[in-house]
Structure formats: structure tokens, C-alpha cells
Amino acid sequence: MPKGRMNFYQQYEPFSIMIKPELLEKLITFRKERDWEQFHTPKELAISVSIEAAELLEWFQWKTEQQVAEHLQTKKRQDLEDEIADVAVYLSYLCHDLDIDLNKIVEAKCQKNAEKYPVEKVKGRNNKYTDYF
């Protein structure tokens, strides 16, 4: 590999797990110190993921692709990052509390999608999967 070039895993390593174990521990400690577990039922966490995802959508609402690109270069980017973090935090709590390995279930979903959307049938198309069979 030429000097200065990263391999696939080096390039994507920061994204290889959603929340690093030490960060998850920090989140869990933060919640425990505030006695918020009592409010973080699976139902409430799932609702919170949805609410925060809707707030994430607001960042993009009514903007053209050009406006989005421009906003990404301003202080407004921090608002976007905060909304993404909120979704990640609530999803992390939910997976933790339900003992769900996010990497494992994403891998399984990738396999299901590969079977559901074979390259030879779907490449370059955006139809619903039922349209292909």
C-alpha cells in the first residue's frame, strides 16, 4: 500500500462500531448518576429515537442540496451533529438495555438485504423489492 493511503478498515475504523465500549460506559454512568433509568423504558427510548430522528429531518427540511452543502460549512453543522448524537445516544441506551449487539444485527440485516436485493436485479434501480419478483 502506498505511503499515506489507508486500507478499508483504517479508513472506516472510527465508524466500525457505533459507540465504543468506554463511551457507552460513560453514557450509562451519566444516566445512572441522574437516576434516569426509571424513565428509560424500551418504549420511551424507542419514542425518543423517533423524536430525535424527526428533529434530524428538520435540519434538512425545505433546503435544496446546495443549501444543505452550504449549511454544512457553517456553525449550523453543530446543530446537525447534535441531532445525530441524540439519535445515537437513545439507540445506544435501547440496545444496551435490551442486550442487543448492534454490530451483529446490522450484519444480519446486510445479509438479508443482499438476498432481498440481488445486484443483478436492482443495480441502479430504486423500486420496492416486491417489484423485482
d(CA 48, CA 39): 11
Q: Tell me if residue 61 falls in helix, strand or coil.
A: coil
d(CA 114, CA 19): 25
Write down the pLDDT at residue 52.
98
Q: Model confidence at 10, in pLDDT bands (50, 70, 90)?
A: low
d(CA 55, CA 41): 21
Architecture of domain 23-29+38-100: Orthogonal Bundle (1.10)
Average of per-residue pLDDT values in the chain: 89
pLDDT tens per residue across span 56-113:
999 999 999 999 999 999 999 999 999 999 999 999 999 999 999 999 999 999 999 9
Q: Model confidence at 130, in pLDDT bands (50, 70, 90)?
A: confident
Q: 85: part of which helix (H) or strand (E)?
A: helix 77-97
Whole-number Cα distances in Å, 88 to 10, 30, 52, 66, 96: 22, 15, 9, 26, 12
Supply the pTM of this predicted model.
Answer: 0.82
Write down the pLDDT at residue 131.
80
